[in-house]
Structure 1
């Protein structure tokens, strides 16, 4: 079942149960999917990779809004954003632990043949493709830099 079909079914459930925050989050996901499908040059069916990118973008937007609301003491709005973030997280792949990340980065370093920090671009490009949706790019970047420094 495609993500879009899952979302449609869940929207119906949320409407029946009158779960406002869940309904808002699901509608925003559906809206983002529809926008992606109608973009110029887009195909009718979105790849799983594209769906994950959409979900990550929505999650990041909610997180930034949440941080802003907390900073400005807008607790009620922050709670709404947090509730929507949790709904979006249900559809994202399980994040990697730091141990798993280290193992994967080691594999990628060997695969690419990285020998110094100057190989960062090659490693980051490969790692971003392989680990898409499972680790934050900032954390990935820091781990790669750390491991490339230890090679020297």
Structure 2
């Protein structure tokens, strides 16, 4: 079952349960998928990798918004954003642990012979492509920085 069908099935369940937070999050996914598949230059359908990137983007937006609201002391606005992020994350592949990400980073560093921070972009490109959808870019970045600066 494709992502769009999954979202529609979940939306029906959320409507029956009168779960407004879940419904809002699922509508956001459906809307983003529809926009991406109909925008100029799109071939009509989205690949699984494109769908994962789209869902990751939605999760990141929600978490960034929640962070801003928390910094401003608006927990009442941050909580629904975090709840939506948790619902949207269900559509992502299982996330890797930091140890697994670290192994991929070390493997990439060894494969290209990276020696310092000037090679960070190369390493990030390799690791991000390899772990697409399975790890957050911020986590990958912090591990790459730590490995290259030591």
TM-score of the aligned structures, taking structure 2 as reference length: 0.90
Q: Work out the CA distance in 1 between the residues paired with 2:142 and 2:98.
A: 12
Q: Work out the CA distance in 1 between the residues paired with 2:83 and 2:146.
A: 34
Structure 1 window deviating more from structure 2 (91-100 vs 21-30): it is: 91-100
Q: How many residues align?
A: 150
Structure 1 window deviating more from structure 2 (3-12 vs 92-101): it is: 92-101
Q: Which residue of 2 aligns with 1:70?
A: 70
Task: In structure 1, list runs of 5 or more residues that go unmatched.
Answer: none
Structure 1 window deviating more from structure 2 (101-110 vs 18-27): it is: 101-110
Listed as ranges, the matches of 1:3-152 within 5 Å are 3-150=3-150
CA-to-partner distance for each residue in 1:95-150, whole Å, 9 max, x for gaps?
A: 22221111111221222233444332221111111112222222212222322233
Task: In structure 2, list runs of 5 or more residues that go unmatched.
Answer: none
Relative distance call for 1:124 and 1:16 in structure 2 (3 A) is same
Relative distance call for 1:119 and 1:77 in structure 2 (3 A) is closer
TM-score of the aligned structures, taking structure 1 as reference length: 0.89
**TM-aligned CA deviation for residue 42 of structure 1:** 0.7
**TM-aligned CA deviation for residue 28 of structure 1:** 0.4
Relative distance call for 1:74 and 1:146 in structure 2 (3 A) is closer
Cα-Cα RMSD: 1.6
Q: Work out the CA distance in 1 between the residues paired with 2:74 and 2:145.
A: 37
Q: Work out the CA distance in 2 between the residues paired with 1:16 and 1:63.
A: 27
